[in-house]
């Protein structure tokens, strides 16, 4: 029964065959909040006329349309590969592990050209109880952040830039993957150091050491700067495809207790070390759990500030950045799940 509140909201996504051409979205995601919005550019002539001091409504027009905003969701154990594909511009697709029900996805940075999403948000209208469909085409993910906090559920925040909004399309049917649940802080682990190798398109780290200090929060973020203002004559006020136009970055932070040898000394020494963040879920089959793993082969600690704020435990906020070691991908996101397709 409709409630007329956010309880009836839905988020459904489709992968575009041609960037900017909306498709019928088919993949539904449970989400926490969203801020997608149409951003029109208003032209307001300022010509002077005797006896007139206010701008005239008849001369105001809309010259351009664009879409932007964020979507935040708890990281599910199913269906998330589509988001990572478009966050990193990867070409990874699930491949079966042995002959069981577990499938592995490898996502590494790739080419954003031609990739686009149609994102539809169903927004409930309180006065009528109707869920109004807002469909956004030509969407690319320009920024993302995965956050893992003590006693919390890992969340993925996505910053979206899109081409246009359509409120005339039908509300898509929201069908959620059966058996999906979420990762938790309990299944999180963080390792530093070790030896990195990439073979047959897959990066691994051997000999890494589990971080010893108490870490209460870790986040990893990515940004792919894009030219989002590619408007021009004859485009009917709509942008051309967003293209990368600056150096992408991968950064992160740790909220942890002060540990000089493990973190601060690495900061002072300008050391380069691998970082592996792993989230494990339930067992898919014998010896193979659901998995989300992020490997950063070459990270440097860019800031580390241990300060005494009183009688409590001394903490240290640590910021790091991932670099290209010129051998391995600067980031690899590996997913193991029951997903047979993105």
34-90 confidence digits (pLDDT tens) = 999 999 999 998 889 898 889 999 999 999 999 999 999 999 999 999 999 999 999
The string of pLDDT tens digits covering residues 118-177 is: 999 999 999 999 999 999 999 999 999 999 999 999 999 999 999 999 999 999 999 999
Q: Identify the three-state secondary structure at position 311.
A: coil
Q: Is residue 221 part of a domain?
A: yes
With 0.85 as the threshold, say if the pTM is over it. yes
Q: Is residue 242 part of a domain?
A: yes
Q: Is residue 1 part of a domain?
A: no
Q: Is residue 188 part of a domain?
A: yes
Report the alpha-carbon angle 213-216-219, nearest 5.
105
- Please state the domain count of the chain: 1
Which residue segment(s) compose the domain that 150 sits in?
6-337
Tokens of 53: 């001091």
pLDDT at 99: 81
Q: Is residue 14 part of a domain?
A: yes
Q: Is residue 20 part of a domain?
A: yes
pLDDT at 310: 96
Q: Identify the three-state secondary structure at position 35.
A: coil
Q: Is residue 253 part of a domain?
A: yes
Alpha-carbon distance of 249 to 142, in angstroms, equals 11
Alpha-carbon distance of 294 to 331, in angstroms, equals 7
The string of pLDDT tens digits covering residues 204-251 is: 999 999 999 999 999 999 999 999 999 999 889 999 999 999 999 999
Q: Is residue 342 part of a domain?
A: no
Q: Identify the three-state secondary structure at position 264.
A: helix
pLDDT at 68: 98
pLDDT at 109: 98
Alpha-carbon distance of 80 to 337, in angstroms, equals 10
Listed residue (104, 109, 105, 254) closest to 192, CA to CA: 254
Instruction: Provide the mean pLDDT of the chain.
Output: 96
Whether residue 287 is predicted with pLDDT greater than 90 in this model: the reply is: no
Residues pairing with 295 in the sheet: 276, 332
Listed residue (286, 266, 290) closest to 278, CA to CA: 290
> Which of these ranges, 7-16, 140-149, 279-288, has the smallest mean pLDDT?
279-288
Query: What mean pLDDT comes out for the span 191-202?
Result: 97
């Amino acid at each position: 029964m409709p409630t007329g509140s956010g309880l009836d909201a839905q988020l459904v996504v489709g992968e575009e065959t041609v960037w900017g051409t909306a498709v019928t979205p088919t993949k539904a995601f449970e989400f926490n909040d969203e801020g997608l919005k149409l951003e029109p550019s208003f032209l307001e002539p300022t010509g002077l006329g005797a006896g007139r001091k206010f701008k005239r409504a008849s001369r105001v027009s809309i010259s351009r349309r664009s879409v932007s905003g964020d979507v935040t969701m708890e990281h599910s154990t199913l269906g998330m590969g589509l988001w990572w594909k478009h966050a990193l511009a990867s070409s990874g697709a699930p491949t079966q592990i042995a002959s069981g029900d577990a499938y592995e996805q490898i996502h590494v940075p790739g080419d954003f050209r031609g990739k686009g999403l149609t994102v539809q948000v169903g927004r409930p209208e309180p006065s009528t109880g109707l869920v109004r469909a807002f469909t956004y085409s030509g969407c690319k993910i320009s920024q993302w952040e995965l956050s893992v906090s003590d006693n919390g559920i890992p969340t993925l925040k996505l910053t979206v830039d899109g081409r246009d909004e359509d409120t005339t399309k039908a509300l898509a049917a929201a069908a959620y993957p059966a058996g999906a649940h979420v990762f938790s802080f309990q299944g999180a682990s963080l390792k530093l150091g070790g030896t990195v190798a990439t073979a047959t398109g897959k990066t691994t780290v051997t000999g890494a050491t589990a971080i010893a200090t108490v870490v209460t929060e870790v986040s990893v973020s990515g940004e792919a700067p894009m030219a989002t203002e590619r408007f021009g004559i004859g485009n009917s006020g709509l942008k051309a495809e967003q293209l990368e136009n600056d150096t992408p970055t991968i950064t992160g932070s740790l909220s942890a207790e002060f540990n000089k040898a493990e973190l601060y000394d690495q900061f002072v020494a300008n050391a380069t070390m691998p970082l592996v963040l792993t989230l494990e879920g339930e067992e898919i089959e014998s010896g193979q759990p659901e998995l989300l793993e992020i490997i950063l082969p070459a990270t440097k600690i860019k800031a580390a500030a241990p300060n005494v704020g009183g009688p409590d435990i001394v903490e240290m906020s640590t910021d790091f950045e991932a670099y290209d070691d010129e051998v391995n991908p600067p980031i690899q996101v590996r997913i193991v799940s029951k997903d047979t397709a993105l």
